[in-house]
Amino acid sequence: MSKTINVAESVPNQGFFQFLLEELKPKGKIFTPFNIISFPIIILGLVIIYLRFKNGIGSVTNLTQEVPWGLWIGFDVVTGVAFAGGAYVLVFMVNILNLKKYKPILRITVLNGFLAYLFYSAALLLDLGRPLNVVNVVIGNNYGVSSVLFLVGWHFLLYMLALFIEFSPAVAEWLNAKKAHRFLTAISMGAVIFGITLSVLHQSGIGALFLMAKDKIHPLWYNSYLPLLFVVSSVFAGISMVILEGSISHKVFTDYMDKTDNKHHNSILVGLSKICALGMFVYMALLVLVFIHEKNWVHINSPYGYWFLVEVIGFVMVPMLMFAYAYRSHNTLIIKIAAIMTLIGILLNRMNISIICYRWEDTERYVPSWQEFIVTLTIVFIEIWVLRWIVRRMPVLRSGPKWAAGSH
């Protein structure tokens, strides 16, 4: 496995297409536990996607007239975008604040963000009843400019482009395209500045999507600060995802990494845990403010109230304290556990707003069908496959070829 790694740097003389063909072949073991689990699920998911286009959305989902957005939107888009927030936070830290320490994990984070957005928009297309008309949003004279969704869509789309530009030097290094590399590196600063701006707006925009659902979401979760809460929580949600992904890829992709000492990786984790703790503190402060402002204590002594406390205390306050403690004691195990808890908390929050506490007064509740779960898993698995393919070929975790050094 480890012998094939340097192929990318030695190929340019072979001819471009031969090189590409060579690169398309799988690298690494085929029968890993992950492949054995994910492959059948992906096949099943593709069958379900086929059925969805053949028989309509209702044939594979449990969506109703009352709950028109289910797991595909609630998880893939609303939750997934928060999880992918690490890209803009890290880009801000490295490229704007000049915190060089975090540079080793920048490319993998940007790549993760880009792929997440790419696949979540694919999931979004599955959920559209008339997906061909999506062109109306991009071209033509049908702009619904007063729509939050329109603005989210455009910011989303442009941000994907920005992420691609930010990542593109790695592609150029892989293809040994020196001229393209110089050009792409030159324009990436614009992409950085715009990427951050676009992120702040679409992260908050996803919260703003639910502003008009005022009578449908439980008052403990609905408030006029939703956009602000969404953007603040995307900071530590994204960073927690970076911590988790970093820890996983540190184990899985060891062969594709530079031999950096563990010490440096740990100091990155400790630094990130401080940011998480601070972000979560701000988020908690906002939650308390909203709670008092909306006089929400009347709702606390009810099943939904207890559920709210589970989310806010169990999965925001506790991991916040864990991050703070781990920052002081440099305990990376606690950082990782806190990151997982934070991610669960964000998942709970987004699911509560979009599904669990949406139409909470109805007697008939929406529960996702098994097909919806399988398709969601399929999207995530394909994304991981593509991520793995790229990491094993392009200089994502390791540094690029010598000619590219210093220009970035």
Partner 1 sequence: MTLSRRTFLKAMGATAVALSVGKEATAQTSGEEKPEFMAILYDSTKCVGCLGCEYDCAEAHGNPDYEIPIDPPMRKTDDKQRTIVNHYETSKGRIPRKMQCMHCNQPACDAACLTQAMHKCPEGPVIWREDKCMGCRYCMISCPFDIPKFEYGSTNPQIVKCDMCIDRIREGETPACAYNCPEEALVYGKRSDLIREARRRIVEEPDRYYDHIYGEHEAGGTSWLYLSPVPFNELGFNVNIQKSSYPALTKGFISSIAPVDILLPAVLLGIYEATKSNNTKEEDQ
* Minimum distance from residue 80 beta carbon to partner 1 (Å): 17
Between residues 76 and 245, which has the closer beta carbon with respect to partner 1?
76
Does 272 participate in binding partner 1 (rule CB under 8 A)?
no
Tokens 């109230």, residue located:
305
**Rounded to 10 degrees, what is the CA torsion of 380, 386, 392, 394?**
-120
Does 376 participate in binding partner 1 (rule CB under 8 A)?
no
Does 216 participate in binding partner 1 (rule CB under 8 A)?
yes
- Binding residues among 113-132 for partner 1 as defined by CB under 8 A: 127-132
Q: Which of 119, 154, 156, 256 binds partner 1 (CB under 8 A)?
A: 154
Cα separation values, 174 from 67, 124, 163, Å: 46, 31, 17
Q: Which of 167, 210, 307, 323 binds partner 1 (CB under 8 A)?
A: 210
Does 192 participate in binding partner 1 (rule CB under 8 A)?
yes
The dihedral sign for the CA sequence 66, 72, 75, 80: negative
Which of these ranges, 5-13, 139-147, 300-308, 338-346, lies near partner 1 under the rule CB under 8 A?
Answer: 139-147
For the residues of 275-338, what is the DSSP string, one character each?
A: HHHHHHHHHHHHHHHHHHHTTGGGGTSSHHHHHHHIIIIIIIIHHHHHHHHHHHHT-HHHHHHH
Between residues 209 and 380, which has the closer beta carbon with respect to partner 1?
209
- Distance of alpha carbon 356 from alpha carbon 359, whole angstroms: 8
Residue window 217-246: x/- pattern of binding to partner 1, with contact defined by CB under 8 A: -------x--x-------------------
Q: For the beta carbon of residue 324, count every other beta carbon within 10 angstroms.
A: 18
> Is 111:390 a contact under the CB 8 Å cutoff?
yes
Q: Which of 15, 26, 40, 144 binds partner 1 (CB under 8 A)?
A: 144
Does 186 participate in binding partner 1 (rule CB under 8 A)?
yes
- Distance of alpha carbon 120 from alpha carbon 76, whole angstroms: 6
Q: Which of 54, 259, 263, 295 binds partner 1 (CB under 8 A)?
A: 54
Q: Which long-range contacts (CB under 8 A, 24 or more apart) does 17-25 make?
A: 23/393
User: Binding residues for partner 1, per CB under 8 A?
Assistant: 53-59, 61, 63, 65-66, 68-69, 92, 95-98, 100, 127-134, 136-137, 142-151, 153-154, 185-190, 192-194, 196-197, 200-201, 204-205, 208-216, 224, 227, 408
